Structure 1
Amino acid sequence: MESPQQILEFLDRRFNAIEMPCFGNMNIDYVSSRLLAFRDETRWMLLFNSITWCPAGQGLTTIVECVGNCVQGRQGFDSDRIFITGQIQYDELLDTYRVNVRNKSIPITELEIIAHPDLYADREFDIAIALLADYREELLASRDEYEKFIPEGLIEVLQLDEWHHPDWGCPPIQTESFPLIAEVLFTGNSDLYTPPQKSNTSWHFWFPK
């Protein structure tokens, strides 16, 4: 197994090459994410399971991005790791939005939608945020969907919904979370991880862009 320092240097290179999630991405809005860590005696991989809004593309999507020394396919974003787990569509005739999650219609009147006109213009993104309250787990990629990206023999050693994520001024090696994640990958001991004081995985940390 690579040392924690080697793991961190690998992650820094991948982040600089835009081969791991950048939550400040100008083209994709990250709504909510989950991080999963896998390892065995010689291999390791981080899997980012993210609900996203892509206004210029497919709208509400879930993207699985993998980084590690045993990734099958491309590091980070790959087109075969996109799932349509929900839809938000404007109905001009009825002047309302049609929303569904996993092909189940969600009445928009049941959602607590808060407008954020000072941060962005997309009404759909407000709806995506509102869906998190009751439908986050359904919108995330399921184990059955992302399992094919995990090399055989790797064991899950960590799952996080909040952590300190890197940005362009703070690479992985300088975050609170990733040095601890590297220790867990090296040892397999999840007790070495402690929650950060500066968790920034919530969507609102990355606006305005």
Structure 2
Amino acid sequence: MIGHTPFGNCLTKGEPGFGNEDFLSRVDNRDEIEDVDQPEIYRGASIVLRGRRIAVAAERGEELVDVLRRLVPDHRDLLLADEVELRRRIPADIPEIMRLDRWHHPDLLQDTVPSQSMTFRQLADVLTTGDVRRYAPDMPPNTHWSRWPESGNL
């Protein structure tokens, strides 16, 4: 499951943040690839993403999350939300200002609130002014999944 989290004061439906409908299931054949007796363990077989069968170099018994993450470099477009999914709760007349795939995210568990994060302060400035040049990262991105090993686990 992959999710996206819409926030704003003019969403077309629902409350800001994510709800169950914001989680996107990408694997069409989870029952074929997940071990029945050991949930979240790969039992083998090719993986079907959005109707496309994908061969994966993985061994039976591997953590399923690790097998699925291995698909990202070559099949990112099949895993991420498409334009229709991204705009599902966002009014059509709101233009996209900027899209980030990588940024420096504060560690909220370390009592870093978003307002203290230079990244979020710069993003707020971009949203306020519409000037994407106001986003000038001063720290390297840290949003790669390997930095957040528990991400994807509910």
Moved over 4 A (4+): none
Give yes or no for the alignment of 1:151 onto 2:99.
no
| 1:195 equivalent in structure 2 | 137
Distance (whole Å) between structure 1 residues aligned to residue 21 and residue 54 of structure 2: 27
Give yes or no for the alignment of 1:178 onto 2:126.
no
Counting only pairs closer than 5 Å after superposition, residues 91-110 of structure 1 correspond to structure 2 as 96-109=44-57
| Aligned residue type for 1:146 | L
The 8 Å contact of residues 163 and 196 in structure 1, kept in 2 or not, is answered as no
Aligned residue for 1:149, secondary structure, equals: coil
Can you give the 5+ residue segments of structure 2 that lack an aligned partner in the other structure? 37-42
The 8 Å contact of residues 184 and 193 in structure 1, kept in 2 or not, is answered as yes
TM norm structure 1 = 0.58
Distance (whole Å) between structure 1 residues aligned to residue 20 and residue 65 of structure 2: 22
Answer 1 or 2: which has greater strand percent.
1
Can you give the 5+ residue segments of structure 1 that lack an aligned partner in the other structure? 1-60, 115-120
| 1:39 equivalent in structure 2 | none
Instruction: Work out which structure has the larger RCO, using CA pairs closer than 8 Å and 6 or more positions apart in sequence.
Output: 1
Aligned residue for 1:168, secondary structure, equals: helix
- CA gap of 1:181–1:105, structure 2 versus 1, over 3 A, is same
Counting only pairs closer than 5 Å after superposition, residues 73-152 of structure 1 correspond to structure 2 as 73-87=14-28, 88=30, 89-90=33-34, 96-109=44-57, 123-152=63-92
Distance (whole Å) between structure 1 residues aligned to residue 14 and residue 62 of structure 2: 33
TM norm structure 2 = 0.77
The 8 Å contact of residues 56 and 71 in structure 2, kept in 1 or not, is answered as no
Range that drifts further, 161-170 or 180-189:
161-170
Displacement after TM superposition at 1:66 (Å): 0.9
Distance (whole Å) between structure 1 residues aligned to residue 130 and residue 65 of structure 2: 37
The 8 Å contact of residues 91 and 97 in structure 1, kept in 2 or not, is answered as no
Deviations 1:48-78 (A, max 9, x none): xxxxxxxxxxxxx121211122233112111
Displacement after TM superposition at 1:148 (Å): 2.3
RMSD (CA atoms): 2.5
Pick from 92, 103, 109 the counterpart of residue 168 of structure 1: 109
Distance (whole Å) between structure 2 residues aligned to residue 143 and residue 174 of structure 1: 31
* Equivalent pairs, count: 138
